[in-house]
Amino acid sequence: GEDVEQSLFLSVREGDSSVINCTYTDSSSTYLYWYKQEPGAGLQLLTYIFSNMDMKQDQRLTVLLNKKDKHLSLRIADTQTGDSAIYFCAESTTSGTYKYIFGTGTRLKVLA
C-alpha cells in the first residue's frame, strides 16, 4: 500500500539550516504538505506544493520535490529554537479513491 517515510530525529544548531526529508510511494499524489506539531498542540500546515511543481519558497521555508525519486524535502533557513517541533509530511490524492496519508514525523531539536 501507499507509504510515507521520514527519519525520526534531526538536531541542528541555532542559525544553521535544517533539511527534513520525506519519501512517498504513490505516484498519483496530487498535493504534498508539510505540517508542524508543537508540544501538546495539534498540527498546523506550514506549506504545500502541487505535484507538478519542483520548488516552492515561502520566507524561511523552501520545499523541493523530486517527483522521479518521490522525494520531498523541507529546508528551514536560519533555524531558531522556536522551530523545535515535530514535522510531518503528507500526501493526498483525489484521483480514484481519496486518501490523505501522513508520515511518521521528524522531531527537530534546535540547540542554542
User: Of residues 15, 94, 109, 111, which one binds other proteins by CB under 8 A?
Assistant: 94
Binding map of other proteins across residues 40-59, x = CB under 8 A, - = no contact: xxxxxx--x-----------
State the maximum Cα–Cα separation within the chain, in Å, rounded to a whole number: 47
Q: How far is the first Cα of the chain from the last one, in angstroms, to the nearest whole number?
A: 40
Q: Whose Cβ is closer to other proteins: residue 14's or residue 51's?
A: 51
Hey, CA dihedral for 45, 17, 2, 86, is it positive or negative?
negative
61 to 90, contacts with other proteins by CB under 8 A?
Answer: 88
Question: Quick check: 96 binds other proteins (CB under 8 A)?
Answer: no
What is the number of other CB atoms lying within 10 angstroms of the CB of residue 82? 9
CA distance 57 to 49: 10
Interface contacts to other proteins, rule CB under 8 A = 30-31, 33, 35, 40-45, 48, 88, 92-94, 97-105
